[in-house]
Amino acid sequence: MSSPRCRAYVTFLAGNGDYVKGVVGLIKSLRKVKSAYPLVVAMLADVPKAHRELLLDQGCIIRDIEQVYPPQNTGSFARQYYIVNYSKLQLWNLTEYSKIVFLDADVGVYENIDHLFDLPDGKFYAVNDCFCEPEWGHSPQFQIGYCQQCPEKVAWPAHKLGPRPSPYFNTGMFVTEPNNETFQKLISMLQDATPTAFAEQDFLNIFFEDIHNGGYVPIPSVYNLIVGMLWRHPENVESDKIKVFHYCSRGAKPWRYTGKETNMDREDVKMWVKKWWDVYNDKSLDYKVTMNKIAEEKDDPVPAKIVIAAKNN
């Protein structure tokens, strides 16, 4: 089992867009649920200084990484900006941490999930994806109406399409162990890979399908409930048990939300968007305010370990 002091939540940030707001919302949500571990932002060089300073002020640890490109960058991606996500392979190079829980910047953490770090080592943990949204239109799963969220509804036609696909995870949340050997294997395998619709997500699914690379172990959807589940598979959604909510459909990003896109006018979507904004706007969850509260509760100046961490950042 990994040492508690060598664990971290990690997210990824690139460019000068508004995803920085997502990272702020993410770290404040982790703070609200009293997580014991830091949030590391794996960041490309094109993130502007102002965004870096904002995240440092919120208590994030910044880790600069180099961009990773697929060998052919002209693939037909479901969304063009997915190409930059191959840089997430650099997460396996964060070997100062024995175990990480990766969280996309467009998720909110609404219950403490620190126990995920205690999952047995040597495996890759994530949540099964849903194949029902239009972005999956290129896939045989979408075309025949098959989804691993409800495999009993449409039988997989093995006589036409071969064996049923292996379980396929969404990379909005996963638990893994950084390791230089794994990183080198990922980069080597990428050289012969053909870019596909979901970029690094497809690639990582292929990689971790191999048990020699650790093997994928599905965990319950409450650890990465993608917003589309609300209308695609409501029978599988228990709102009061959701720990991590993933705002990944078009129009669902809370900081861009207008309610005009398809399904975005639903009351349950509005509720989850409000939940994110309630955390984002909560000034008591700002890093400096929180540190002052801790110091006051201990009737002491800011703890030495906090000062040391700040210097190291």
The structural domains of the chain, with segments of one domain joined by +, span 6-129+168-299
* Nearest partner of 96 among 197, 190, 3, judged by Cα: 3
**Active-site option among 88, 99, 243, 253:** 88
Strands 99-103 and 169-176: antiparallel
Read off the pLDDT of residues 5-48 as tens digits, 9 standing for 90 and up: 699 999 999 999 999 999 999 999 999 999 999 999 999 999 99
Asked if 14 and 108 touch (Cβ cutoff 8 Å), the reply is no
Asked if 41 and 60 touch (Cβ cutoff 8 Å), the reply is yes
Provide the angle, in degrees to the nearest 10, between the axes of the packed helices 199-209 and 180-190: 120
Asked if 125 and 99 touch (Cβ cutoff 8 Å), the reply is no
Say whether pLDDT at 310 is over 80.
Answer: no
88 is catalytic: yes
The confidence score (pLDDT) of residue 75 equals 56
Q: What is the CATH number of domain 6-129+168-299?
A: 3.90.550.10
Helix (H) or strand (E) holding 288, with range, is helix 287-297
User: Which residues, including other chains, have CB under 8 Å from residue 8's CB and lie 6 or more apart?
Assistant: 37, 38, 39, 40, 61, 94, 97, 100, 101
Read off the pLDDT of residues 209-248 as tens digits, 9 standing for 90 and up: 987 677 999 999 999 999 999 999 999 999 999 999 999 9
Confidence band of 298 (pLDDT split at 50, 70, 90): low
Say whether pLDDT at 1 is over 70.
Answer: no
The confidence score (pLDDT) of residue 313 equals 42
Token pair in block for residue 87? 């840089």
* Nearest partner of 125 among 35, 30, 61, 221, judged by Cα: 221
Which residue in the block uniquely carries the two structure tokens 């993933």?
246
Confidence band of 140 (pLDDT split at 50, 70, 90): confident
Asked if 209 and 96 touch (Cβ cutoff 8 Å), the reply is no
Token pair in block for residue 92? 């396996």
pTM of the model: 0.89
Q: In what order do the strands lie in the sheet with 99-103?
A: 61-64, 39-43, 7-13, 99-103, 169-176, 124-128, 216-218
The confidence score (pLDDT) of residue 211 equals 73
* Nearest partner of 92 among 211, 205, 185, judged by Cα: 185
Query: Between residues 147 and 294, which one has the greater pLDDT?
Result: 147
The residue-averaged pLDDT of 270-285 equals: 98
Percent residues over pLDDT 70 in the chain: 88
